[in-house]
Amino acid sequence: MKDSLTSSFAHMAEPPTYPLLNPSLALAQVPLFAALPPHELEALATTLPTVTFPAGAHLAHEGERGDQFYLILDGQLEVMKAEGTSDERLVGLRGPSEYIGEMSLFNPDGERTASVRARLTTRVLVMTRADLDQLLHRYPRLAYEMVRVLSQRLTHAHNHALHDLQVKNRELTQAYEALQAAQAQIIEKEKLERELQVAASIQLSILPRALPQLAGVDLAAHMTPARSVGGDFYDAFRLDDDHLGLVIGDVTDKGVPAAIFMARTHAFWRAEATRGGSPREVLERVNAQLLETNAEGLFVTMIYGILNRRSGEFAYARAGHDSPLLCAADGTSLAVPFSAGEPMGVLPAPALDEQTVVIPAGGLLVLYTDGLTEVWDAEHHQFGEEGLRATLRGCAPAKAQAVCDQLLHAVEDHRGSAPQTDDVTLLVACLLR
């Protein structure tokens, strides 16, 4: 692997003009790997290829696919959005002891979200998705450091964009008369909308592009933010040949702050769910991570559960979220046990509702956020849980996607001309006969 990667970058490399540093010592200065034992650092330094990029050379292009990220030993890299267009902008600089390109490892299709080029002659270690997966398997706490850096970068990019817009707006107001100032505000609004479109694209990339396939289970999901970006999320992943992990969550508030908190929560959940444990244990560990990083004072409601395709059992823990709906094959609603549950991110030990339900053959399990039931029509009538149950009675027997579509159509028909005021998210599981 090392030889093939080195060969693929050989045409970009040039003889370094600076003394070569010991890679294992350089790795120890990278915060992400600072806690690794010396033998692990030495193994990484030995197995990971070192590549040198001359100034102006590209490591990645926005929109392309990749499965490597780069640990910077020396030099400096520029992170660019919309490179080569009139909207080109520098969104960040990365130097020694930092890393770049990790977003392509989290995106299911490996798509690069920005272009990266060398500002100075830069020497990097190249790590592939397989290398990172193996390392995270041995040292899962590294995921926390990656999440922390990702969260800081998202927050920094958001603050930087808002700062630029404010500065430009003040300059234009001082330079032009009222009509010109109004025109400038329109331009700024368009730029902000483009930034929000980028944020929406990043948020959607966090969600699964395709739901996992498991014999005997049919899955479907949908999310419609009330604004360009929102605070809802869902996910599903295959634990083994018989079990699926299903999650849905709803962050308080809306817009960019909620979207950033949502991304952080989803990343914590992914890391903890991959470590294993019961749904309660996973949510308790996620809550501990949120408490350490929740300067905004936001909170999130969640349901995380494990579905057994053979028995139809869905064992879950609920943190202040709406209870799941369970239906028989004819669409009849079935009773779901309930106890108190509290949101995560606020209390050190929130109450969690831990339950197990059984989906009958041909039946449905519906996880949803309150944006689905708290929909008001023009006469201020709420769709409510009764509207949801009535729609499900008309869905049987049906595939999961058909159930999703019918529920969304029913909600849209009920809302009519009234505006959407909250994010709407659905995750439906059908147990096939």
How much is the pLDDT for 219? 95
Q: Give the Å distances, CA to CA, from 192 to 182, 187, 196, 201, 336.
A: 15, 9, 6, 14, 44
Mean pLDDT confidence for 99-113: 74
Decide if pLDDT at 7 tops 60.
no
Give the pLDDT confidence of 357-389 residue by residue, as tens digits.
999 999 999 999 988 888 888 888 889 888 889
For the domain made up of 209-431, the CATH class stated in words is alpha beta
Contact between residue 54 and residue 108 where contact means Cβ atoms under 8 Å apart = no
How would residue 18 be classed by pLDDT, with cut points 50, 70 and 90?
A: very low
313 has pLDDT over 50: yes
The residue type found at 196 is L
* CATH top-level class of 2-139: mainly beta
Do domains 2-139 and 209-431 share one topology? The answer is: no
Selection from 205, 202, 238 nearest residue 219 by Cα: 238
Confidence of residue 205 (pLDDT cuts 50, 70, 90): low
Tally of helices (H runs) and strands (E runs) in the chain: 12, 18
Residues of the chain with pLDDT > 70, as a percent, come to 80
By C-alpha distance, which of 143, 127, 111 is closest to 72? 127
Helix (H, G, I), strand (E, B) or coil at 209: coil
Give me the mean pLDDT over the 274-296 stretch.
91
More confident residue, 314 or 47: 314
Tell me if 303 sits within 8 A of 425, measured CB to CB.
Answer: no
* pTM confidence score: 0.55
Overall average pLDDT of the 3-18 stretch: 43
202: pLDDT strictly greater than 60: no
pLDDT of residue 54: 96
Least confident of 161-175, 206-220, 297-311: 161-175
Instruction: Answer yes or no: is pLDDT of 325 > 70.
Output: yes
Least confident of 148-152, 182-186, 341-345: 182-186
Q: Among the ranges 57-61, 206-210, 328-332, which has the highest mean pLDDT value?
A: 57-61
Within its chain, how far is the Cα of 11 from the centroid? 35
Query: Which residue ranges make up each domain of the chain?
Result: 2-139, 146-201, 209-431
Pairing mode of beta strands 232-238, 424-431: unpaired
pLDDT of residue 92: 85
Reported as a pLDDT band with limits 50, 70 and 90, residue 229 is low
Encode 77-98: b = buried (16+ Cβ within 10 Å), e = exposed. bbbbbebeeeeeeebbebebbb
Structure tokens at 180: 């010109």
- The pLDDT tens digits of the residues spanning 231-270 come to 788 999 999 999 999 999 998 877 777 777 888 888 899 8
Residue 6 has pLDDT above 70, yes or no: no
Average pLDDT value for the chain = 82
Calculate mean pLDDT across residues 55-82: 89
- State how far the Cα of 28 lies from the Cα of 111, in Å rounded to an integer: 29
At position 5, the amino acid (one-letter code) is L
Q: What is the pLDDT of residue 189?
A: 59
CB atoms within 10 A of CB 100: 19
